């Protein structure tokens, strides 16, 4: 137990790597972040690094596809982190927005669609963003008056409604799904398209670029008056209202922004796979993303990225690996469960915690069990 | 009249918490609302600050009907509340908590002046400015909620149980500061279980029992009222 404890407490909220990072001058910090971003872009080639490389790459899954999966999981974790981590709204139906984004692309671009519009992929992106934002507002408008557990239940219902609706309407084609969803534009010098099913690398790089843009946008938002309003709502919604925060409006914004990022994940997913049906949007997916956000460190952008990456990487890494004659992939959910329980016991604020979140957790613990 | 509550009823689901409450607060006054646990004191506060919609009746503030006004807009109009217990933002520093109090304001010079004023009233908060709210002691958190409520420069300050859970020494100190805030020109509506302190500080007071106002008068009158003495002051 003690070893587990030490591993999970390898740094406190103020000390360790984060404390050191925070004390560096601005230039050093930005250079380090740029280096991390460059490292992310170079990940498809990590398998060629001797000794370490082969340990990192996935054996049972094409490494570049695994990387692409990580990229849209990270995107989803970032979006959900705005809703859950920043505004403190428990959303259990986040997959619903992912589905709305993916279906928007499919309906507008797939030759199977009744619309017969056959739009190129790129043209569907702005439409998908607008539609997922609207869906966020539409879901939020009646439900954001609810709090805590009640909101969680309603969002859970929303995701199921989307999935069941997709299963049972002819327009959304149920499990027959949509195929032939086009790829993003761009051609190599020899005339072959850059984006395709065969090589997921370009999709991954596109994903990383999107992640960078979204991280910068969300970070700025978090440090603005909007972020401060979210923080106040998360810590004490009544107190926030008394301070003059228009709570409903900011909660709605969190929902819309979260929805929009989740929708973008769906847009990427639909494009890369070329095919999607109603089975792609199971409720477990929402739970998985939420687990990633909480595991990584709810309310912290770096934490959300780490958590989102882990929940996608670990199962892919386990695929095709044998432990004691058993396929490790079969036990991925068991391992997840154990990992989450351990983290919640020893590091409830997540792997890279938000400093404020850690304090809020402590404060709430006091409320539950006064000393 | 700064605040006028007329025949207000309020429901929590099917349970009626307020049965037609009427009270007034004049400019410059300290008005106390005393009563036992569950009498509806905090509920009355929530009705005034807009955190809880009322079922019937009217609330007027500074000549305007605010019955249907959103909570955040009531703050803009000049009503500010220090909620009971731990109503602070636990993950924000003391300074950030105080800045949240000035959320609706844009005049940075005025905000700075009011920050100094709050630090003057509560020197302890200045010492702890960078400390995270959740790590403060109960008394310091109480000071912080009051200081934060002052940061919006309110016309009417609602104080919900400012003495709750405090040591007797600290209770004295908090009440002296409340009187001082009032003398600086802020009207105060005070909810208290500590009737002794509240009545001796207040100009006027109301006694609340199971969602109804059963008595009202000047603080001194109620302090010497046999029934009040018997029920709230612990003397026969």
Structure confidence at residue B85 (pLDDT):
73
Q: How confident is the model at residue A11 (pLDDT cuts 50, 70, 90)?
A: very low
When pLDDT is averaged across residues B165-176 and rounded to a whole number, the result is: 90
Beta bridge partners of B212: B209
Residues of B in contact with A229 (CB under 8 A): 103
CB distance B211 to B16 below 8 Å: yes
What residue of A is the nearest CA neighbor of B131?
A359
CB of A237 within 8 Å of any CB in chain B?
no
Instruction: Note whether B210 and B40 are within 8 A (CB).
Output: yes
Residue B106 in any domain: the answer is: no
The total number of structural domains in chain B stands at 1
pLDDT tens digits for range B13-24? 899 999 999 999
For residues B172 and B196, the answer to whether their CB atoms sit within 8 Å is: no
Return the pLDDT at B184: 93
Q: Quickly count: other Cβ atoms within 10 Å of residue A15's Cβ.
A: 9
- In angstroms, rounded to a whole number, what is the distance separating the alpha carbons of residues B130 and B92? 9
Q: How far is A76 from A304, CA to CA, in rounded Å? A: 9
Find the mean pLDDT for residues A217-241.
95
Q: Which residue of B has its CA nearest to A243?
A: B101
Looking at residue A2, its pLDDT comes to 52
Strand partners, B209: B212
Q: Are A96 and A165 in contact (CB under 8 A)?
A: no
Domain membership flag for residue B102: no
The whole-angstrom separation of Cα B27 and Cα B188 is 9
CA angle A258, A263, A269 (to 5 degrees): 135
Q: What is the pLDDT of residue A8?
A: 45
**Sequence-distant contacts of A293-296: CB under 8 A, at least 24 apart:** A293/A77, A293/A80, A293/A81, A293/A84, A293/A85, A294/A84, A294/A340, A294/A344, A294/A350, A295/A339, A295/A340, A295/A343, A295/A350, A295/A351, A296/A77, A296/A350, A296/A351, A296/A352
Average the pLDDT over each of A20-29, A112-121, B94-103 and give the range with the smallest value. A20-29
Q: What is the pLDDT of residue A370?
A: 44
Between CA A135 and CA A260 the distance in angstroms is 9
**Three-class SS state of A187:** strand
Cα-Cα-Cα-Cα torsion A204, A206, A209, A210, nearest 10 degrees, comes to -100
Give the CATH number for residue A231: 1.10.3470
Q: Based on the structure, what is the number of domains in chain A?
A: 1
* Residue A275 in this model has a pLDDT that exceeds 80: yes
Do the Cβ atoms of A255 and A144 come closer than 8 Å?
yes
A119 in any annotated domain: yes
Lowest mean pLDDT among A2-11, A42-51, B37-46, B65-74: A2-11
Kindly state whether residue B34 falls inside one of the protein's structural domains.
yes
Say if B235 falls within a structural domain.
yes
When pLDDT is averaged across residues A54-78 and rounded to a whole number, the result is: 92
Identify which of A196, A215, A182 has the alpha carbon closest to the alpha carbon of residue A65: A196
Confidence at B236, pLDDT banded by 50, 70, 90: very low
Least trusted range by pLDDT, from A65-69, A350-354, B43-47, B55-59: A350-354
Which chain A residues are within 8 Å of B133, Cβ to Cβ? 359
Mean of the per-residue pLDDT values for chain B? Answer: 93
Residues from chain A that touch B101, judged by Cβ atoms under 8 A, are 243
Nearest CA in chain A to B79: A242
CA of A212 to nearest chain B CA: how many angstroms apart?
27
A51: in domain: no
Beta strands B204-209 and B30-35 are parallel
pLDDT in tens, B206-233: 999 999 999 999 999 999 998 888 888 8
Bridge partner residues of B6 (DSSP): B58
Confidence of residue A368 (pLDDT cuts 50, 70, 90): low
Average pLDDT taken over every residue of chain A: 88
Residue A1 in this model has a pLDDT that exceeds 80: no
The mean pLDDT of A262-276, rounded to a whole number, is 93
ipTM value: 0.92
pTM summary value: 0.90
In a domain, A19, yes or no: no
Q: Which residues fall within 8 angstroms of residue A111, CB to CB, at 6 or more apart?
A: A118, A179, A180
Is there a contact between B226 and B232 (Cβ–Cβ < 8 Å)? no
CATH code at B40? 3.40.50.300
Residues 6+ apart with CB under 8 A from B52: B10, B43, B46
**Domain-located, residue A36:** no
B108 burial (CB, 10 Å; 0-12 / 13-18 / 19+) is: exposed
The per-residue pLDDT for A175 is 86
Average pLDDT over residues B112-120: 96
Closest Cα in chain A, distance from residue B43 (Å): 13
Phi, psi for B78 (deg, rounded to 5): 120, 15
Q: Is residue B114 part of a domain?
A: no
Confidence label for A324 from pLDDT (cuts 50, 70 and 90): confident
pLDDT band of residue A55 (cuts 50, 70, 90) is confident
Contact with chain B for residue A371, Cβ under 8 A? no
Q: What is the mean pLDDT of residues A227-249?
A: 95
The whole domain housing A119 covers 63-368
Average pLDDT over residues B147-173: 93
Domain that holds residue B7: 1-78+155-162+186-236
Question: Is pLDDT at B9 greater than 90 in this prediction?
Answer: yes
């Amino acid at each position: 137990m003690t070893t587990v404890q030490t591993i999970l407490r390898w740094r406190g909220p103020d000390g360790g790597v984060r404390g050191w990072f925070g004390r560096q001058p601005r230039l050093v910090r930005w250079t380090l972040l740029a280096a991390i971003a460059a490292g992310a872009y170079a990940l498809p080639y990590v398998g060629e690094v001797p000794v370490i490389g082969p340990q990192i790459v996935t054996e049972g899954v094409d490494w570049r596809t695994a990387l692409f999966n990580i990229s849209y999981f990270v995107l989803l974790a970032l979006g959900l982190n705005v809703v859950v981590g920043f505004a403190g709204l428990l959303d259990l139906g986040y997959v619903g927005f992912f589905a709305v984004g993916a279906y928007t692309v499919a309906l507008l671009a797939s030759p199977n669609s009744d619309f017969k519009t056959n739009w190129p992929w790129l043209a569907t992106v702005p439409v998908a963003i607008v539609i997922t934002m609207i869906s966020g507002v539409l879901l939020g408008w009646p439900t954001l008056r609810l709090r805590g557990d009640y909101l969680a239940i309603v969002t859970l219902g929303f995701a199921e409604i989307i999935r069941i609706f997709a299963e049972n309407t002819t327009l959304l084609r149920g499990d027959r799904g949509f195929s032939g969803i086009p790829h993003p534009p761009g051609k190599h010098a020899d005339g072959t398209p850059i984006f395709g099913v065969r090589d997921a690398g370009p999709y991954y790089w596109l994903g990383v670029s999107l992640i960078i843009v979204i991280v910068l946008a969300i970070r700025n938002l978090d440090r603005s008056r909007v972020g401060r309003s979210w923080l106040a709502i998360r810590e004490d919604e009544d107190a926030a209202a008394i301070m003059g925060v228009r709570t409903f409006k900011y909660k709605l914004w969190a929902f819309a922004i979260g929805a929009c990022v989740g929708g973008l994940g769906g847009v990427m997913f639909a494009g890369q796979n070329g095919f999607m049906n109603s089975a792609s949007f199971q409720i477990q997916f929402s739970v998985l993303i939420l687990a990633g956000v909480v595991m990584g460190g709810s309310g912290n952008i770096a934490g959300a990225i780490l958590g989102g990456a882990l929940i996608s990487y670990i199962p892919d890494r386990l695929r095709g690996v044998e432990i004691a004659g058993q396929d490790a992939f079969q036990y991925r959910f068991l391992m997840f469960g154990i990992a989450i329980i351990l983290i919640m016991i020893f590091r409830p604020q997540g792997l890279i915690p938000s400093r404020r979140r850690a304090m809020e957790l402590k404060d709430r613990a006091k409320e539950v069990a006064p000393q | 009249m700064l605040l006028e509550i007329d025949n207000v009823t309020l429901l929590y689901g099917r349970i009626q918490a307020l049965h037609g409450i009427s009270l007034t607060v004049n400019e410059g006054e300290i008005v106390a609302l005393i009563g036992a646990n569950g009498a509806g004191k905090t509920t009355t506060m929530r009705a005034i600050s807009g955190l809880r919609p009322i079922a019937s009746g009217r609330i007027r503030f500074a000549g305007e009907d605010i019955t249907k006004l959103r909570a955040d807009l009531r703050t803009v109009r000049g009503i500010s509340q220090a909620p009971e217990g731990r109503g602070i933002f636990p993950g924000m520093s003391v300074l950030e908590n105080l800045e949240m109090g000035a959320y609706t304001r844009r005049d940075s010079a005025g905000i700075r002046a009011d920050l100094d004023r709050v630090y003057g009233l509560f020197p302890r908060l200045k010492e702890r400015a960078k400390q995270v709210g959740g790590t403060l002691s109960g008394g310091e958190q109480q000071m912080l909620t009051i200081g934060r409520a002052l940061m919006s420069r309110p016309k009417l300050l609602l104080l919900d149980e400012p003495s709750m859970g405090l040591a007797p020494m600290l209770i004295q100190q908090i009440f002296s500061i409340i009187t001082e805030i009032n003398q600086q020109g802020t009207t105060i509506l005070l909810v208290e279980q500590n009737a002794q302190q509240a009545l001796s500080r207040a100009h006027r007071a109301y006694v609340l029992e199971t969602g109804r106002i059963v008595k009202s008068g000047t603080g001194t009158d109620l302090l010497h009222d046999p029934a009040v003495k018997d029920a709230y002051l612990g003397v026969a």
